[in-house]
A and B are shown apart, each in its own frame.
Chain A
């Protein structure tokens, strides 16, 4: 498992919205609602049961891959991933972040929208 560290680059965060999602897409439409609104400039952090949306069999896997190709950034909180034992099943497109990275993203992005 490789840890990914955020490089500070202010242009990446210009007008960007940080979205957090804490529900599994297998049983809840919350992540769907988030992706419908999310733009190619935005950042999405999957937290709590939301990290289940980061596995390669996620119902939104192909959608996440396409959005990453268009520029959207996807992250999963590493403690929530490890707690659920799914680190070997994650989509390659999802970056693992720790709590410090979460705080840094929260500060860098202009707005934060919690999808819960």
Chain B
């Protein structure tokens, strides 16, 4: 079983990168690998509650991310410093059990993977 970390670094709606990251990890979940997902930099904006993307005629990232749980993807991480520098708190986020990591912990997480996939 390979350890694969998906890294999502872009804010939602501006580009297709966040949706591609989610599509990729959901697809990968069919292959019974050890998957993790890390939100960092502007990617943390994907995690904000109460997104109403119908206003811009786009599918809600917030709603789409709920699929992770259904697909059994539990290792979801968020870069703590990106939250802090953007004035966001735990209570702003859609996942209660998301694990906040400092930069050193993120380096360790990356170094211990078989594969990194960046979006």
Contact = CB atoms under 8 A, between A and B. Distances in A.
Given A37-B103, A39-B107, A113 B9 contact: no
A5 to B, nearest CB: 26
Interface string B75-119: 000000100000000000000000000011011001101011010
A114 B107 CA distance: 14
Interface string A24-63: 0000010001001111011000000000000000000000
B41 interface: yes
B116 A36 contact: no
Interface in B39-91: 40-41, 81
B36 to A, nearest CB: 13
A36 B103 CA distance: 6
Nearest to A110: B111
A36 B41 CA distance: 11
B111 A111 contact: yes
Contacts of B21: none
A113 B110 contact: yes
A104 B110 CA distance: 20
Interface residues of B, number: 15
A69 B58 CA distance: 47
What range describes how many residues of A lie at the interface? 10 to 19
Contacts of A112: 116
Contact of B115 (A39, A111, A114): A111
Interface of B: 7, 9, 40-41, 81, 103-104, 106-107, 110-111, 113, 115-116, 118
15 contacts: A15-B111, A17-B107, A33-B40, A36-B81, A37-B103, A37-B110, A38-B107, A39-B104, A39-B107, A39-B111, A111-B115, A112-B116, A113-B110, A113-B118, A115-B118
Given A17-B107, A111-B116, 17 more contacts: A15-B111, A17-B110, A29-B41, A33-B41, A36-B103, A37-B40, A37-B103, A37-B110, A39-B111, A41-B111, A42-B107, A110-B111, A111-B110, A113-B116, A114-B118, A115-B118, A116-B118
